Amino acid sequence: MAGALAAKRVIPLRARRDEDKEARRRELLDAARALFEATSFAQVKMADVAARTGLAKGTVFLYFPTKEALFLALLDDLLTAWFAKLNGQLSEGGVWTGHQLARTVALSLVGEETFTRLLALAQTVLEQNVTVEQARAFKERVLVSMGTTAALLQQRLPFLTPQTAVQLIRHVHALMTGLRQMADIAPVAREVLTLPHMAPLRVDFTAELTAAITTLLHGLEAR
Amino acid sequence: MAGALAAKRVIPLRARRDEDKEARRRELLDAARALFEATSFAQVKMADVAARTGLAKGTVFLYFPTKEALFLALLDDLLTAWFAKLNGQLSEGGVWTGHQLARTVALSLVGEETFTRLLALAQTVLEQNVTVEQARAFKERVLVSMGTTAALLQQRLPFLTPQTAVQLIRHVHALMTGLRQMADIAPVAREVLTLPHMAPLRVDFTAELTAAITTLLHGLEAR
DNA sequence: CTTGACCGGTGACCCGGGGTCATTTAACTC
DNA sequence: GAGTTAAATGACCCCGGGTCACCGGTCAAG
């Protein structure tokens, strides 16, 4: 009948088991993500996040001490997922060309706007109102993924040294956040940028990132 | 005796002449700048800006409709000044090496932390709560300076085409904002990053920017 | 010099949103 | 079924951006 025996477990009103708490946490992260995708960090209100999950505002603060902590946790998830995806792709094949690598990286970011948008906020906003512990945990995780990626990069591009590989990742990180900010602009600016003579200020994220990384790698190889 | 006859004109309590209004506007921008340099955009309160100039909070809003407008105006000034300085330096001499150019750009940003920090906020924060007109005026000014710089770049580095010159500027812009965010981090993160194994995440803005631009130019020349 | 209109300045006030906590009550235990 | 625990609630606090009715300095006209 109306029984949900076969359906996947529904979270009880009070999440007491760790497993239910985790599920509720996920629910909140999903809500935050959906709202952020539709608007911006500033426009997402904690009350909205609560409403979207059918919970009260106070409850959100039982799971995340601050708004920034909530979004940093979200970024943490997205970052780990993205690195895993990228590292998976970097595991295939032998030696690559710089352009191949650049395309792989740029294409791995298609459909990951949420990730790059949040990444651009990481230093400026998200790490402002957060405990040292959470900041440390986040950076620790970045460090691990970065190490793996650096190793894989050296396999694909033998002209890279351990130092240049890590530096390359930093530069790509900078380009990702910088270009993301230039590419998706505020509604006000969008209107302005449609003017024809504004072309030099318009940025196609994927194309531009591919171009920049390719050029960087040309430069490193030409050393 | 106590008369300030020889001293530079003091702004009267009521700024009625355009010249006095302009002076008051400058005063507010200076106050905002000083406070921003000591803290961050979020931490600067409009009431503080007012207090620092000895005015009431409401008065600040007579000169700038929103907090974002105030800081965008400040960025506008700093950006124009920086471009002027850079373009001046780019006017000297004949053909340069890529590394020379990279160093010039990176060094022109030493002591301009305020500018780069604000630039990093431009798209994410400042253009959020501002009139279309102000956004347009700002971008228009960027466009002009960019054009001049692009022309000068082609003189110093003949292997650049009009297209690659403009693209280079966009990439440098992205690197500037991206690296700035990575370089000066929140107090919370600062503590974390001092740990030895966090080295790969530490960024020396000038050094890193020089390296990145040099590599980019190697890449472009090697084409 | 006096007067009155103009307009820059003021600060009490409004309001929205992050964050708190005493209270309620679902979930589990015996 | 009674008792215990702690998740959830939402009224409340506080802060900071932004407003506006009022104040009073300035100056042109008379």
Q: How far is CA A189 from CA A54, A106, B123, B140, B146, in A?
A: 35, 24, 8, 11, 18
Min mean pLDDT across A118-127, A200-209, B2-11, B13-22 is at B2-11
Q: Please say whether the beta carbons of A177 and A116 come within 8 A.
A: yes
**Rounded distance between C-alpha atoms, residue A86 and residue A73, angstroms:** 20
pLDDT at B25 exceeding the cut of 50? yes
**Rounded distance between C-alpha atoms, residue A62 and residue A88, angstroms:** 35
What predicted TM-score, i.e. pTM, was given to this entire model?
0.93
* pLDDT digits 0-9 by tens, B31-77: 999 999 999 999 999 999 999 999 999 999 999 999 999 999 999 99
Helices A67-90 and A46-53: angle between axes, nearest 10 degrees: 70
Nucleotide nearest to A14 (CA to C1'): D7
**What class, spelled out in words, does domain B67-222 have in CATH?**
mainly alpha
Tell the burial category of B6 from Cβ atoms under 10 Å away from its Cβ (0-12, 13-18, 19+).
exposed
Q: If you measure CA to C1', which residue is closest to nucleotide D24? A: B14
B51 to chain A, closest Cα gap in Å: 25
* pLDDT digits 0-9 by tens, A67-79: 999 999 999 999 9
Instruction: Specify the amino acid at residue B205.
Output: F
Q: Residue B192: list chain A partners with CB under 8 A.
A: 132, 135-136, 139
Q: For domain B11-64, which CATH number applies: 1.10.10.60, 3.40.50.1820, 3.90.1150.10, 3.40.50.720?
A: 1.10.10.60
Q: Is the dihedral of CA A18, A23, A25, A26 positive or negative?
A: positive
Which of chain B's residues 103-142 bind strand D, using a 7 Å CB cutoff? 129
B57 to chain A, closest Cα gap in Å: 23
Q: Please say whether the beta carbons of A70 and A29 come within 8 A.
A: yes
- Per domain, the residue ranges of chain A are 11-64, 67-222
Q: Please say whether the beta carbons of B220 and A215 come within 8 A.
A: yes
**Rounded distance between C-alpha atoms, residue B155 and residue A155, angstroms:** 39
